[in-house]
């Protein structure tokens, strides 16, 4: 991998990579972005989606990707990494390398899943970036934690999406109170946690 990255750097001086090794010289994490990805970031990097796919590659390492959307509404890749684990320390290392790669240019918004270590690392490295949770991940966890959703309660789903798609703070708070009261879900700890994280 090291040799490949150096060859890429010879072919493309704007190719960026960083390798983290432990005290025994064993690879821990690696981050890379080519010239096109970096240029795309400077043009389209106002909103970033950061996602980690857990150990689905032959190295059995978490694969992390920084993606966005261009002016044709196409997904574009800004950079990627293989990580040793999904700890706060690994994410801090990766986000710091990202900043070096992108010449200190910080995005306005980052969208992630609800991982606690990732959340803390974002607060450390990107304290002024708006952090938002991915609606797909929220929906996935909703099915796991809310029996009304699992039981195909259509009335609950309708009221939930009315709340979820609120267009103002006032309507959000009003629709939430209606949802909780009508469906008697004030004792659901996962929903309570999500309510407290609603600014994300």
Domain ranges of the chain: 2-133, 136-196
Rounded to an integer, the average pLDDT of 178-185 is 87
Residue ranges of alpha helices (H) inside 32-183 are 35-44, 88-101, 116-125, 135-145, 147-150, 154-164, 169-183
Q: Which of 28, 2, 25 is nearest to 17 (CA)?
A: 2
Please, what is the end-to-end C-alpha distance for the chain in angstroms?
37
Query: Cα 46–113–175 angle (5° rounding)?
Result: 90
Mean pLDDT of the 12-19 span: 96
Give the separation between CA 185 and CA 142, rounded to whole angstroms: 13
Euclidean distance between CA atoms 134 and 127, whole angstroms: 19
Measured CA to CA, the distance from residue 134 to residue 116 in angstroms comes to 14
Give me the pLDDT at residue 111, please.
94
Q: Read off the tokens for 14.
A: 């704007």
| Residues pairing with 30 in the sheet | 19, 82
Q: How do beta strands 130-133 and 109-112 pair?
A: parallel
CATH of domain 2-133: 3.30.420
- The mean pLDDT value of the chain amounts to 90
Site of tokens 């857990």: 54
The sign of the torsion formed by the CA atoms of 97, 101, 102, 107 equals negative
| Cβ 38 vs Cβ 26: under 8 Å | no
Predicted local confidence at residue 150, as pLDDT: 63
Global pTM reads 0.84
Classify residue 105 by its DSSP letter. P
Does residue 114 register a pLDDT over 80?
yes
- Four-residue CA torsion sign, 66, 71, 73, 74: negative
Q: Report phi then psi at 7, rounded to 5.
A: -65, -40
Strand partners, 109: 47, 130
Range from 16-25, 54-63, 182-191 carrying the lowest mean pLDDT: 54-63
């Amino acid at each position: 991998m090291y040799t490949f990255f150096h060859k890429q750097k010879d072919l493309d001086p704007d190719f960026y990579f960083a390798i983290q090794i432990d005290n025994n010289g064993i690879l821990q994490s690696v981050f890379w972005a080519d010239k096109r990805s970096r240029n795309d970031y400077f043009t389209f990097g106002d909103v970033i989606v950061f996602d980690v796919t857990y150990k689905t590659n032959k190295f059995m390492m978490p694969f992390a990707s920084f993606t966005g959307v261009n002016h044709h509404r196409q997904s574009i890749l800004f950079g990627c990494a293989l990580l040793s684990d999904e700890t706060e320390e690994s994410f801090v290392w990766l986000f710091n390398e990202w900043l070096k790669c992108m010449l200190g240019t910080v995005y306005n918004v980052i969208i992630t899943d609800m991982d606690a270590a990732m959340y803390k690392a974002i607060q450390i490295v990107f304290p002024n970036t708006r952090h938002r949770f991915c609606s797909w991940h929220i929906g996935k966890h909703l099915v796991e934690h809310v029996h009304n959703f699992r039981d195909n309660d259509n009335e609950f789903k309708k009221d939930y999406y009315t709340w979820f798609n609120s267009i103002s703070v006032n309507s959000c708070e009003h629709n939430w109170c209606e949802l909780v009261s009508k469906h008697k879900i004030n004792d659901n700890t996962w929903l309570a946690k999500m309510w407290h994280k609603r600014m994300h």
